[in-house]
Structure 1
Amino acid sequence: MKIHIMDLSPGDRLKGDVFNNYGVLVLQKESSLSSDAIVKLMQHGIDYVEIEPHTVEHYFQPNNSTSDTIQKIKPFFDEAVDGFEDIFLSALSNGTYDDAKVDDLLQPMVNNLGGQKDVVSLLLLLSDSGNDNYTYNHSLQVGMLSYYIASWLGYSKLEAYEVSKAGYLIDIGKCKLDQDVLSKPGKLTPEEFEEVKRHTIYGHDIILNSTDDEISAIVALQHHERDDGSGYPQGLLDKQIHPYAKITAVADVYTAMTSNRVYQSKHEFLAVLRELNSLSFGKLSPEPTQALIKHLLPNFIGKNVLLSSGEIGSIIMTNQTDFFRPLVRTDSGFVDLSKEREISISEVYM
């Protein structure tokens, strides 16, 4: 019987040879279709195939395991998150922090990042860490993502570490804000928002009072500046913003949007990448933004997802026509999100 490839299931058997539009043999007669074979048919632009009529039970088995490499990094993550609390409280009490302690926390973590290419799994690990203090967890995620973005842009290991450290410290100035305002579930008043914006200035001063690290101080001051001049605190334009601040701004926005906060539920990872792509045309610097998107997208292949339809599946292919709406395999077949626009990914899992 002839069947559309979107309705194929692993285990279906081809009734005849399959050729693409150029006459090239794609799969032979009587081939038993695997998930990879079905993807191959899609990549060759084949819409329908003849299969042998038979019934096979199929099911989706969620993958709940995490690679050993990722699990080895987790203790360094936990230590860096917990350590930031001490740094934050020291800055709150004394207006300074121990810069050597920052290096003691970050260096071991960064040294373990080089061998881990699946950054999405690292982000999922951090989002499921159980640490309910947004500021501390967010600081680590920004530091980690800043390191990766700098590396992808071709910065040296030393430079990438400097960017990571600056990213880790961008919100240190929040220690001087009214914590009730920071944890306010509703919309801030104009006066409250003006005060929150001052965390950039407070952070700049705290860093300079603690160390001679002028770069981290500048990044703390500028990480909310935007290329079109709409940012704060100085309303700087593109070329006036330090390159490191542009990198940390991308990491900051991504992790903020994918995290649960008192006034906002987290957004799904791919939807946030789509939003960042839009922001790269005028707001966020395009180079670090596109580097993040380019390197994160392949990490989603193989990840388990919950669809808005209630089905659970796994991402098997990125659509070239819409990078942010991939092809998903469920226990009932395939869902092409680039075509089935009414369905979306609600959550991504390891």
Structure 2
Amino acid sequence: MTDSSPASFRVGLIGFGLAGSAFHAPLISATPGLQLSAVVTGNPERADRASRDYHDVIVVPTAEELLSRPDQLDLVVVASPNGSHAALGMAALAAGLPVVIDKPLATTPQQGRELVIAARERGLMLTVFQNRRWDSDFLTLKKLLAEDVLGTVHRCESRFERWRPQPSRGWRDQAPADQAPGILFDLGSHLIDQAIQLFGPVHSAYAEIDRRRQGTRSDDDSFIAITHQSGTRSHLWMSSVAGQGGPRFRVLGDKAAFVKTGLDPQEADLRAGRHPARPGWGEDPVAQWGQLGTDDNLVTIPSVPGTYPEFYRQVRDALRGVAPVPVDPADAVTVLEVIAAAREATGVTS
């Protein structure tokens, strides 16, 4: 495919809510070799915003209309509500188009496996937007593990905790269970994926999945403890009701510990409309740099800059046939297997 690749791959983006407008559209547009050509949204305000922010984009109201002209696209990105990911991904593959699907890949492991099989049978690219693999804190910890400064890690504590005491009226808080709402599918998909990337396959898992806020139908305060085959234990917290958050990472090894506070700045910058190509993109504030060592001998570790734009650069190169996909969809199926096992073990069905 390398010799015949177009100058820019034409991208159709399904969904222009938070994921589509704040993450995918700006990152696609900032990637040389990718062109945001079409956006699907049935919301008039979002359609106006897409047309205003991306002057050359075509806005259509339905995915069916977008996929009815597959010869006008080279890639489809699915950034719709979780419950539609599998069906829209399958429809794009059936139209002969490579696909990026926002996490979670699907609502069940079986749906995820069917997508992987369909892409393989058609010889089409399929990958999953696990952007948190390019978080500053994750990249910093990954570097420390490669350098073996922590030694053998026996426990990794990892958190995405927020203070949002009032539930929204949107699907994340109000959709039925079979539509994959809630914080476990949302932030848990990232935390589980990161833990597996850092410490390897899962041997067993324990979970606590709770609804704390009145007026929400889905979990908003959850915890998973993973025992990896390596022996490391990952303790993962995700919450919308944490008035004070704990450390982003607290990693304990037999040589040293690493403690990191604060969140990667890229999400806040994207939400604020800052361009991913600006100088200093992804740089963590010095006040949030982590501490490595022991209580009597601590060293401040500069954070590795976060690089969300790298995801779509790798997508482009995969389309050109010169690189693998940035995220193996089989990894996303594994995450769904952990979530499904946690929900079944705790009796969460609605």
TM-score normalised to structure 1 length: 0.25
Which protein has the bigger helix share?
1
TM-score normalised to structure 2 length: 0.25
Which protein has the bigger strand share?
2
Between the two structures, name the one with larger relative contact order (CA 8 Å, sep ≥ 6): 2
